Each structure stands twice: as C-alpha cells, then as structure tokens.
Chain A
C-alpha cells in the first residue's frame, strides 16, 4: 500500500520503488541496530549481576552513539601486503548480504519492501553473499589466522544452510507459497492459526503437524544461530583460540560495518522465523483497530507485533549467547551433519506425507 501511495506521490514507479527500498533500511534497521548493540550489553550485564553502560546518557542510552563516533574517527589501517580491492570490498558484501534480505520481509500489512513472488528463495540466495564477503575478508587480510577463521566461518555457514533450507521447504510444502507476504496473510486472526500450531486449516492435518512444526522450529532456530555466528557457534568471531578471526585486521568504519551487519543479520533471521512459524505481523488475538473501528490503526498494530516478535527472538539469541560455552569446530560440523540434517530430512518427509494424505 505504501508503494501505491509513493507512486501517486512521486508520479514515477522507479523512484517510488527506490524510496521504498530505502525505507526499512534507514528508518527501521539502522536505529534498531543502534538499540540492539546497547541492548546486548545491558542484557548481558543484567544476566551477570552487573549494570552495563551507565554513564553516557541516562543509564547508558547514548552509548552506541558514542561508540559509533569513536569508530568513525579511527584511522583506517590497510597493511601494505593486503589485497586492497578485496579488503575494501569485503565489508560491503557482508553488509549488502545482510541488509538486502529485508527487501522481501513484510514489516506490516501495508509495507513490504518489494513484492517478490519468490521471497524466501531470494532471501536465502542473498544471505549467501555473506559467505563470499567473509572469505574475501579472510584472504585479503594476509594473515594466516584470519584465513583459518574465515574458512571455518565459511564452512559453518554453508553447512548450516542445508537444515535451514530443508525446514523452509517443509513450510513451503505445507502452505504452498514462497511469498512471505502471503505466508503472513495466511496465518490470520488468532494465534492458533500460526504455523507452529499447524497452520490455518482446522482438521486432522493441523494436529498431526504440531509436533513436527515444533521440532522444525527448533532445528531452524539452531541453524540460523549458526548462520549468524552467534554463540555457541561463534568460532569465527570470538577469540578463535588464537586471534580474533576474520575481522582482526579491520579498523574504524569497516569494522563497524561488520558489526552492524551482524546485528542486522540477527534481526533478519528473527524476522524470518517469526514469519515462518509465528504469524509474521499478525497479532495473536485480533486487532484493536478493527474492534474500535479505526481502520488506519491496523497497519501500525501489525508493525508493532512484528517488531515485538523480532525482538523476542533477538532476546533469546542474546540469552543463549551468555549462557552457553562455545562448540569446537569439528563438534560444530558433526552436530550439523549428524544431528540437524537427519532431523530436518525426517521432518520434511513426514510433513510431506501428512500434507499429501
């Protein structure tokens, strides 16, 4: 709907599309990332019985801005033996890979970046760019530990894409659509219509699917944790026992881009899980706007619910980070190939059988 309004306003479809593409980025994601960095520090602090940033602004609210200013004014160091083109391009790729996924995610009933019929496949494809970016960063750093870290990160992300895809396939099979917007629209009205509770159609299929959907949610949540390089899968970024991984050699704004991309990725992943299993922007129990008669309130409410669900999953990701120790690399891979993928396959096959019969 915003797209139509913009076309009217500017009179040209191309400009409208352009502006619409920028909207989620500027007005939602960037402010969100600023908040997320602070939230991570505060959440971790409260879990550890301490207070976190308290001095910059009231209870530390302006801390991220201070960090950003600090990173902006740092010297951009490029060692002479680095491959300059790749070195400069790597953060761009990682950033783009994470942010471009937001084009196909429905933020509310009235707003979706772009109505792609193949929404889910587009998202999976674009987040694959991140792997290329990481490998470039590791290679161009001219540092054997960075290269090691980058290769491990690449292996991790590529391996964990498989269970993700399998579960996405399951949901696609059940609902019959790849477009995230229609997926969200399908899970209307009440929370028992959400995919995690078996989907909108009432019947035997719904009840049979519930345990499968729950398992599927677990599998996809763990796999997406691995995709974002969060603990317990944070070998690439935490001191990979030797140095700081593939972004050791980056300083200043380029490092900030890696950092921002990570948080944006976290949100993208939470948003995808929310859309797939928890009803996207739908509210769990009807709309205030509808019951009060104010139609214009509904898109805002939907936006609110979408944000709440996304934030909840981000909180769970942070919670996990501060509770669990790290996996070792070979254990990580073993976990993926021996546990996640068989489970995902089994879920796919059983769900397929249930849907067909």
Chain B
C-alpha cells in the first residue's frame, strides 16, 4: 500500500528579507525537496513603457534611471546609445571616455551590492558592510560629478550633462588604489571560506545548453562556461580600445555554473572593470562634452534595437520613433526578467534552505523586472 503524499505549497511572500525586492516565490515542495518554483512578479510595476510615450526623449532619461536602480548609469547609457544611433549623432571622444568610466564604476558598485547581500543571505553579516563601505566611495565619486548618488540623469542624448569635476580623476585613482586590496580582503573573508563554499559550490549548477535555451545573459551565462560578453562580442562605444579579460566559470570548486561560480565571476569582473577604468583615465582626452547635444531631439521615423552589457546581463532597448518629439514606443529587454525565468529549473531537487542561496546568486533587481 503506497503512502499518499501531497504536494505542499509554500509561499515566500512579497515581503521577505532575502528576496531582493518585492518578489513572491511560490515553492511547490515534496517534503523538504522542491519540485517547482513559480515567481510572481508585478509588485513594482510603474508603467515605464507607457509613461515614456508621453515624454520627450530627454525627459525619458530620469525614468530609465529608475528601472534598475542599482546600475542607473548603464540604463541611461543603453537608452542614449539607441537614440543616438537612430539620429545618427556622433559624440565627442571625451564623452565616450566619460561614459565608459561611469559605466564601469557603476558595474563595480552594482556587483558590490550583489556580493554583499549574497553574503548576508548566507549568514555572513560582515562582508555586507565592507562591500557597502567601498560602494560609498564610488557613490561619492558620482556625487561630486553630477550631484546625485543613485539616480543620476547624467548621460544625455549627444553627450553628458556636465563635465567631470576637476578632482574626479585624482579621486578615482585613489579609489582604485584602495579597492584592489579590499577585493583580496573580501576573498579572504568570504569567497574561499570553507563554510561558504559548502553552502554554494555544487548547488544548482546551470549547464551551458540550459542557459542558452533560457536566454540567460550576463555573469550567470559566463559562469556556465559560455564566453559571451557584449562588450567584446558586439562592441559598442569605445570598449574595443581597452585591454581586459572576460572571466568564465570553470567549476573551480564544484560543478561549472554552480552558485559559487556565479559569485566568483562577479568578483573577477570587478577586477577587470578596475583595469578598464585605469586605462580610460590615462587615455581620456580634453574637449567639450556638451557640444553635440541637440537642441531638440527629434529622431527620424524608424525603429532600432540596441543592447548593452548591464551588470546583470544584456539590456536591450527597442525604440520606435514616428518622427515627433515623443517616442512612439519604447520596449526594454530587462536582463533580470529573463534570468529569473530559470529559477524553476534551477531549484528542482534542492531544499528550501537553498532557494535563498540560488536566488541571491542570480542577482535580480525587481525594478528592472517589473519596470
């Protein structure tokens, strides 16, 4: 006589200390083992795409900031690249360099949040504070340039809103000098800690084929062994002038593509971003940053899809213009939205206690998912 077992449904509700934002996860359990995870999103939907249809093109930039609020510079970057390509604007060299420096600094800041909160989910409270202390220095750099710490409205169509502060380069050099030993400290404290490795290595390994099938991009894809980075494979702006590596996961402490790989890829990406910033600071030319900003942004009728490498993956903007001052339609391909879809597949067969570890390693931002 077989035992009748029932599937239990557990709800990790929208308010939870470990889901990064308002996300509702419906876990279908058999005992302690998960059989399926269904994410329910939409708690942060703010109608960005509809709203953008009523704004003029420059007015949309503060709205793009607020989608992925942890990597605001890159959101602006992607949108502005799309509009510039539509209008055929060439920006001055200095502007390109400034955009790359800001973008890479933003990448480091975003990864620091991801790593810090991941450590806090696993139970180590101290690396969280160390990561945020370093992030404060980056936010200070942004603050002296454009006045805001999180939502900048700095990268404009045709240039940037203001030139760099005179102290910026010196302070960035100081930051790089201070930050390299801090990465080593983070590695000592968290990355190679045996308990952390036990919690995350071999957990939820994502194979290459599954990752490509689901459309995963960003550090998650690279951790599974696929060497794909839009900065090298589909280069935009001036990324082809710098010398940097693309870290790829190789199953150092377990299977390729497990949570530890996703974590350590982010740490290594921070180091590579530091290299890019160093090179950019050396090479940055002088010039006027506002000379190419058009008085009225009126792109010709047409449509364009541009993609950039967000800290979380491939951020795509599809803009349809009808020749007027307002865009006809803006559609955003948010990387976290696509990355979240693989949760169900990844969590199968693992325990409830691992859901938090797996969710943290995918690194989602609800602002981007729900827009």
Q: Contacts A325-B190, A325-B193 known; A50 to B353 CB distance under 8 Å?
A: no
* A326 contacts B130, C-beta separation under 8 Å: no
Neighbouring A residues of B199 by C-beta, 8 Å = 325-328, 331
In angstroms, how far is the closest chain A Cβ from the Cβ of B313?
26
* Contact residues, A276-330 vs B (CB, 8 A): 322-330
- Which residue of A is nearest B125, CB measured? A322
Neighbouring A residues of B129 by C-beta, 8 Å = 48-50
User: Is there a chain B Cβ closer than 8 Å to A108's Cβ?
Assistant: no
Cα A35 to Cα B40 with chains together (Å)? 46
Give the interface segment out of A99-107, A126-134, A235-243, A253-261.
A235-243
Neighbouring B residues of A48 by C-beta, 8 Å = 125-126, 129-130
User: Is there a chain A Cβ closer than 8 Å to B113's Cβ?
Assistant: no
Partner of B17, one of A47, A239, A328: A239
A-contact 0/1 string along B179-196, CB 8 Å cutoff: 000000000011001011
User: Is there a chain A Cβ closer than 8 Å to B53's Cβ?
Assistant: no
Neighbouring B residues of A231 by C-beta, 8 Å = 123
Q: Contacts A48-B129, A232-B195 known; A242 to B123 CB distance under 8 Å?
A: no
B-contact 0/1 string along A27-53, CB 8 Å cutoff: 000000000000000001001111000
In angstroms, how far is the closest chain B Cβ from the Cβ of A147?
14
In angstroms, how far is the closest chain A Cβ from the Cβ of B12?
7
Q: Contacts A323-B126, A325-B122 known; A242 to B196 CB distance under 8 Å?
A: no
User: Is there a chain B Cβ closer than 8 Å to A234's Cβ?
Assistant: yes
User: Is there a chain A Cβ closer than 8 Å to B356's Cβ?
Assistant: yes
In angstroms, how far is the closest chain B Cβ from the Cβ of A327?
6
* A325 contacts B195, C-beta separation under 8 Å: yes
In angstroms, how far is the closest chain A Cβ from the Cβ of B357?
9
Cα A48 to Cα B126 with chains together (Å)? 6
* A325 contacts B119, C-beta separation under 8 Å: yes
Q: Contacts A49-B133, A239-B17, A241-B353 known; A327 to B126 CB distance under 8 Å?
A: no
* B123 contacts A325, C-beta separation under 8 Å: yes
Q: Contacts A331-B198, A331-B199 known; A324 to B124 CB distance under 8 Å?
A: yes
* A326 contacts B123, C-beta separation under 8 Å: yes
* B353 contacts A329, C-beta separation under 8 Å: yes
* Contact residues, B101-138 vs A (CB, 8 A): 119, 122-126, 129-130, 133
Considering only CB atoms and an 8 Å cut-off, how many residues of chain B contact the other chain? 25
Cα A325 to Cα B199 with chains together (Å)? 9
In angstroms, how far is the closest chain A Cβ from the Cβ of B34?
12
Q: Contacts A241-B356, A328-B354 known; A323 to B17 CB distance under 8 Å?
A: no
* B352 contacts A327, C-beta separation under 8 Å: no
Cα A61 to Cα B354 with chains together (Å)? 39
Neighbouring B residues of A49 by C-beta, 8 Å = 129-130, 133
Cα A60 to Cα B101 with chains together (Å)? 42
Neighbouring B residues of A47 by C-beta, 8 Å = 126
* A327 contacts B198, C-beta separation under 8 Å: yes
- Which residue of B is nearest A330, CB measured? B351
User: Is there a chain A Cβ closer than 8 Å to B161's Cβ?
Assistant: no
In angstroms, how far is the closest chain B Cβ from the Cβ of A230?
11
* A242 contacts B133, C-beta separation under 8 Å: no
Residue among B17, B129, B355, B356 with max Cβ neighbours from chain A (10 Å): B129
In angstroms, how far is the closest chain A Cβ from the Cβ of B131?
11
User: Is there a chain A Cβ closer than 8 Å to B18's Cβ?
Assistant: yes
* A327 contacts B195, C-beta separation under 8 Å: yes
In angstroms, how far is the closest chain A Cβ from the Cβ of B356?
5
* A328 contacts B353, C-beta separation under 8 Å: yes
Partner of A241, one of B124, B126, B189, B352: B352
* Contact residues, B324-371 vs A (CB, 8 A): 351-356
In angstroms, how far is the closest chain B Cβ from the Cβ of A232?
6
Neighbouring B residues of A238 by C-beta, 8 Å = 123
- Which residue of A is nearest B354, CB measured? A328
Neighbouring B residues of A242 by C-beta, 8 Å = 12, 352
- Which residue of B is nearest A240, CB measured? B353
Cα A137 to Cα B54 with chains together (Å)? 57
In angstroms, how far is the closest chain A Cβ from the Cβ of B333?
32
Residue among B119, B124, B193, B196 with max Cβ neighbours from chain A (10 Å): B124
- Which residue of B is nearest A232, CB measured? B195
Cα A15 to Cα B89 with chains together (Å)? 94
Cα A180 to Cα B69 with chains together (Å)? 60
Cα A231 to Cα B123 with chains together (Å)? 8
Neighbouring A residues of B123 by C-beta, 8 Å = 231-232, 234, 238, 324-326
* B196 contacts A325, C-beta separation under 8 Å: yes
* Contact residues, A197-254 vs B (CB, 8 A): 231-232, 234, 238-239, 241-242
- Which residue of A is nearest B17, CB measured? A239
List residues of chain B with CB under 8 Å of any chain A CB: 12, 17-18, 119, 122-126, 129-130, 133, 189-190, 193, 195-196, 198-199, 351-356
24 A–B contacts, CB within 8 A, in A order: A48-B125, A48-B126, A49-B129, A49-B130, A49-B133, A50-B129, A231-B123, A232-B195, A239-B17, A241-B18, A241-B353, A322-B125, A323-B189, A324-B123, A324-B124, A325-B190, A325-B195, A326-B123, A326-B195, A327-B198, A328-B198, A328-B353, A328-B354, A331-B199
Please list the 10 inter-chain residue pairs (A to B) with the smallest Cβ-Cβ separation, ordered nearest first: A326-B123, A325-B124, A48-B129, A325-B123, A325-B122, A325-B196, A241-B353, A322-B126, A328-B353, A325-B195
List residues of chain A with CB under 8 Å of any chain B CB: 44, 47-50, 231-232, 234, 238-239, 241-242, 322-331
Assuming A47-B126, A323-B126, what are 11 further A-B pairs, CB within 8 angstroms? A49-B130, A50-B129, A238-B123, A241-B352, A242-B352, A322-B126, A324-B193, A325-B195, A325-B199, A328-B351, A328-B353
